Copies of this chain bind each other. A is one copy, B any other.
Amino acid sequence: MKLLVINGSTREKGNSEFLTNVLLHDIPHSTLFLRDYQINPIKDQRHAANGFDPVDDDYERVIKQVLEHDILLFATPLYWYGMSGLMKNFVDRWSQCLRDKTMDFRSEMAKKQAFVVIVGGDRIHIKALPLVQQFQYIFDFMDMSMIGYLIGQGTKPEEVQNDRRALENAVTWNKKIRELL
């Protein structure tokens, strides 16, 4: 079982990255920072006569990495009560893969398990819940199983390090994820 972190933060060494590192302490994994890639917003051509035009960006390179892993950990700061635009652009592009006859995106993704890490401020444990539900709908649609989610409080750099409960929850989840590998 190979684990990939898909990090949607736009900041180096951000809170979502820190909390993910605690969560995955001593667990082998790769990390893909979406900010290191150019991924354009989707142009919806699902219903265009010739389907999607090829896009000259890094999306294919990124999705290729995704497909090589078994557990996907989506780590995102809560921006405006949703996943970051970086991450949303990435997920939106899945629609393109679903129409791509050179791959079997749906059945490949259905084999994967998913975990979600969300970090933010402003009553995060309540206000992240619509995003948790959104991720659940996404995974349901793709027949991916959702292992769980972890929410941490932190807006300013390093602030999540003060959210003791989030850190302890991360340690708890660490054991569970270890068992899955």
Contact = CB atoms under 8 A, between A and B. Distances in A.
B169 A9 contact: no
Contacts of A89: 41, 85, 88-89
A173 interface: yes
Interface string A16-56: 00000000000000000001000001111101000000000
Interface string A133-172: 1101110010000101100000011000000110011001
Given A89-B41, A131-B134, A168 B172 contact: yes
Size class of the A contact interface (CB-based, 8 Å): 35 or more
B126 A130 contact: no
A127 interface: yes
Contact of A169 (B77, B85, B169, B176): B169
Interface of A: 9-11, 14, 35, 41-45, 47, 77, 79-86, 88-89, 91-92, 94-95, 122, 125-127, 129-134, 136-138, 141, 146, 148-149, 156-157, 164-165, 168-169, 172-173, 175-176
